[in-house]
Structure 1
Amino acid sequence: MRSRVLCLGASVLLLGCAATRPPAVEPTAAISTAAPFSATSELAVQQGDATFANHRFRDGTTLPEVRIHYATAGVPRRDAAGVVTNAVLLLHWTGSSGEVLRSKPFVDALFAPGKPLDATKYFLIFPDSLGHGRSSKPSDGLRAGFPAYGYLDMVELQHRVVTERLGIPRLHAIVGLSMGGMNAWLWSELYPDDVEAVMPIVALPTRISGRNLLWRRFVSHQIRNDPEWKGGDYTAPPRGWREAFPVFRMLLDGVPHLQATLPDAAAADAWLQEAITQAARFDANDILYSLESSADYDPEPALGTIKAKVFALNFSDDEFNPVSLGTLERLMPRVKRGRFVIQRGHEGSFGHFTQAHPEQWAEHVAAFMAYVEESPRTTGRSE
């Protein structure tokens, strides 16, 4: 079996290795678990908009113009032929934007000098994926008339930004979180010669089903069946969305963390009120479209075609991707150059949303980048 599970010290759950708890890490205040979708950028970047005329979506709809906003940090390095060799694409999670990945926790843990994705060493690319941030999305004006985009549309437009706008034929690496991790899996299959390595974080290489599918359908139904939604033409956040969001938020968090931080009814009620207040700040159509866009995601049949190195990271307290299902153990052997880690959750981690606390998993990004840099001969011996 060429795929393997890496023993990377005491912070991971492993096949055949003792599982221990990661070192305690102080939570960061910049991105709280109660406010997972916004943050202030603290990385010096160049920003731009790539516009594509008459772009045709996979549902058959054509828009006169589609805009994908992006930011870059660092300086591209080129080989003798002038080809960029150090580009790393960073892909955000559902309902978020590239700006979140440039906030202080990510800069301190990943992009600062000497960190795994040091911005003085790599050319970092942060797109706002279709339907998110400053890119084209339903709330720009089309509302429910916006194309019913999917992840395949999302990845195609990311690819166009990288290859057409930035002129980079091959990425050194992709690091994607949740939705961004699923996008990374699709990149490795749709564009096998255009990326050297991918790191999907809290994203499984199979279609969305079970609990992960149920909560998405629940939120969609709460929005679509709410009279206040008015077919997408609401004037205030629909009640269905505001009441669905606490379930959304609960499943983002980890069971040990919630058990430790919500000891009584008063704490639970305060948590619920904060979640409802937060929901009112987001556009229901944008959330609806982003959740339903995952319907075309299914990388499992083509896993054997992936040429890139793959390093998957999941968390044992992630309720969206339960480790009890053994999905990575079952599917990673199909990936020719695949590795994976399951990091143990604890009271100080945040379930699926540990993704927003990179100080808790930055060591695995360092291991991923070391894997990317391995020579072919070294890689061949270790697999």
Structure 2
Amino acid sequence: MMTSIRRPAVLWSLLLGLGGLPLGCATARPQAVVPPVAVPAPVSTPLEAREADAVFTGHRFQDGTVLPEVRIHYATLGTPRRDASGAVTNAVLMLHWTGANGAVLRGQPFQDALFAPGRPLDATKYFLIFPDSVGHGRSSKPSDGARTKFPAYGYRDMVEFQHQLVTGTLGITRLHAIVGLSMGGMNAWQWSELYPDAVEGVMPIVSLPTRIAGRNLLWRRFVSGQVRGDPEWKDGFYTAPPRGWLEAFPVFRMMLDGVPHLQATLPDAAAADAFIATARAQAAGMDANDILYALESSRDYDPEGALDAIQARVFALNFSDDEFNPVSLRTLETLMPRVKRGRFVVQEGSASSFGHFTQAHPELWADQVGAFLKFLEER
């Protein structure tokens, strides 16, 4: 069951910059390298976002808990277009990364690079949906008051709420596309397997279609251990940010960045100390329980076994300087041939890109979104 409460909001698009970097491509079948394209700067256009809360009852979380109600906050940009039967044909679901929210994906960099007139996901052409995943943003989360009494949700819970929002609240039976970043990319992989008839194409960015393991698992366990093992955490009922969280976040933040970028921007001890101080200040503004739950929610993610059954078109994008998803593992080269209608690109990193966190700089990969949308049109 669901009720909806609407809140208006206005977002603004500013002038565009240039397109993406030169691309290093690897696909299930050979493709040419796509050169960068300079994009003319259009006149600034206001983009109006409509925000609302969908409230669901009766959801049983992966840990068996049932809450009286779960709030999923979301926003939309653009207008639904319908075919002769009344079905929406232009809906695109935008899924954020761990610790972020839908508002981040509606920020100026994303509007300029993706949603402004003439850009790949032009909001005058597409109906864009931005949910705050459970545990994040203005959706139900531990810091609302339950703290460690909040259900130990998993990625499956996130995707189930997203699906209820799209199909139940918004009445959309089939998405044109999903674009997901990091955690959102993993959610996109799950969508393509759990709801094969509900989406035409998915674009997972900086994520891999296999369980969390190796370096990616180690840093998650390190951060979780630093929080849970800190006496100041007090089983989640702390009164100030636990010291373990403040100490762990600089490592968290370092892993987000690219090795070439850090090498170029941290030339000495003073620069490194400033990086650590800035990271600690950022950590002090976050809720440790929210981050802890978000990191541990990846425990149920493992789409590898069902890759052969995916019906949607898949266009996976990773970056060569992403230390969370090391290209040396050749995971995409190994697994993508199992996806019947799949392609992937590993975009070359540099001192001016940001490793895993290149995801937050869409001006560096917007052209790849355009390539994904063209891929969806192929017959």
TM-score, normalised to structure 2, is 0.90
Q: Determine whether 1:291 maps to 2:303.
A: no
Distance 2:81 2:33 in 1: 40
Matched residue pairs, number?
Answer: 352
Relative to structure 1, the CA distance from residue 306 to residue 350 in structure 2 (aligned partners, 3 Å threshold; closer, same or farther) is same
Q: Determine whether 1:50 maps to 2:54.
A: yes
Relative to structure 1, the CA distance from residue 91 to residue 169 in structure 2 (aligned partners, 3 Å threshold; closer, same or farther) is same
Matched residue, 2:6:
none
The farther-off stretch of 284-293 and 16-25 is 16-25
Alpha-carbon shift at residue 19 of structure 1 (Å): 11
Q: Determine whether 1:64 maps to 2:76.
A: no
SS of structure 1 residue aligned to 2:67:
strand
Q: Conserved in 2, the CA contact under 8 Å of 1:12 and 1:22?
A: no
Relative to structure 1, the CA distance from residue 204 to residue 56 in structure 2 (aligned partners, 3 Å threshold; closer, same or farther) is same
Q: Conserved in 1, the CA contact under 8 Å of 2:245 and 2:283?
A: yes
Relative to structure 1, the CA distance from residue 169 to residue 17 in structure 2 (aligned partners, 3 Å threshold; closer, same or farther) is closer
Distance 1:55 1:332 in 2: 33
Q: Conserved in 1, the CA contact under 8 Å of 2:182 and 2:207?
A: yes
Distance 1:328 1:11 in 2: 16
Q: Determine whether 1:361 maps to 2:365.
A: yes
SS of structure 2 residue aligned to 1:50:
strand
Amino acid in structure 1 at the alignment position of 2:109: P
Matched residue, 1:371:
375
**Aligned pair partner of 1:11 in 12, 23, 39:** 23
Relative to structure 1, the CA distance from residue 9 to residue 242 in structure 2 (aligned partners, 3 Å threshold; closer, same or farther) is closer
Matched residue, 2:97:
93
Relative to structure 1, the CA distance from residue 23 to residue 347 in structure 2 (aligned partners, 3 Å threshold; closer, same or farther) is farther
SS of structure 2 residue aligned to 1:314:
strand
Alpha-carbon shift at residue 70 of structure 1 (Å): 0.2
Q: Conserved in 2, the CA contact under 8 Å of 1:43 and 1:103?
A: no
Identical positions, percent: 74
Distance 1:60 1:112 in 2: 43
Matched residue, 1:34:
none
Q: Unmatched 5+ residue regions in structure 1?
A: 1-7, 26-41, 377-383
TM-score, normalised to structure 1, is 0.89
Over the aligned positions, Cα root-mean-square deviation in angstroms equals 2.0
Distance 1:23 1:191 in 2: 35
Q: What is the CA deviation profile of residues 248-272 of structure 1, one whole-angstrom value per residue up to 9, with x for unaligned ones?
A: 0000000000000000000000111
SS of structure 2 residue aligned to 1:242:
helix
Q: How does 1:154-303 map to 2 (within 5 A)?
A: 154-303=158-307
Relative to structure 1, the CA distance from residue 122 to residue 247 in structure 2 (aligned partners, 3 Å threshold; closer, same or farther) is same
Q: What is the CA deviation profile of residues 54-104 of structure 1, one whole-angstrom value per residue up to 9, with x for unaligned ones?
A: 221121100000000000010000011111000000000000000000011
Q: What is the CA deviation profile of residues 269-309 of structure 1, one whole-angstrom value per residue up to 9, with x for unaligned ones?
A: 01110000110000000000000000000000000110000
Distance 2:31 2:179 in 1: 27
Distance 2:345 2:278 in 1: 33
Matched residue, 1:309:
313
SS of structure 2 residue aligned to 1:45:
strand
Q: Conserved in 1, the CA contact under 8 Å of 2:74 and 2:130?
A: yes
Q: Determine whether 1:142 maps to 2:146.
A: yes
Q: Which has the higher contact order (CA 8 A, sep 6+)?
A: 1
Amino acid in structure 2 at the alignment position of 1:234: Y
Q: Conserved in 2, the CA contact under 8 Å of 1:22 and 1:344?
A: no
Distance 2:175 2:50 in 1: 18
Q: What is the CA deviation profile of residues 148-184 of structure 1, one whole-angstrom value per residue up to 9, with x for unaligned ones?
A: 0000000000000000000001100000000000000
Distance 2:259 2:48 in 1: 36
Q: What is the CA deviation profile of residues 335-378 of structure 1, one whole-angstrom value per residue up to 9, with x for unaligned ones?
A: 0000000000000000000000000000100000011122x3xx
Amino acid in structure 2 at the alignment position of 1:289: Y
Q: Conserved in 1, the CA contact under 8 Å of 2:193 and 2:307?
A: yes
Amino acid in structure 1 at the alignment position of 2:357: F
Q: Conserved in 2, the CA contact under 8 Å of 1:192 and 1:308?
A: yes
SS of structure 1 residue aligned to 2:207:
coil
Matched residue, 1:121:
125
Alpha-carbon shift at residue 23 of structure 1 (Å): 6.5
Matched residue, 1:3:
none
Alpha-carbon shift at residue 10 of structure 1 (Å): 3.9
Q: Conserved in 2, the CA contact under 8 Å of 1:12 and 1:19?
A: no
Q: Conserved in 2, the CA contact under 8 Å of 1:10 and 1:19?
A: no
**Runs of 4+ with deviation above 4 angstroms:** 15-25
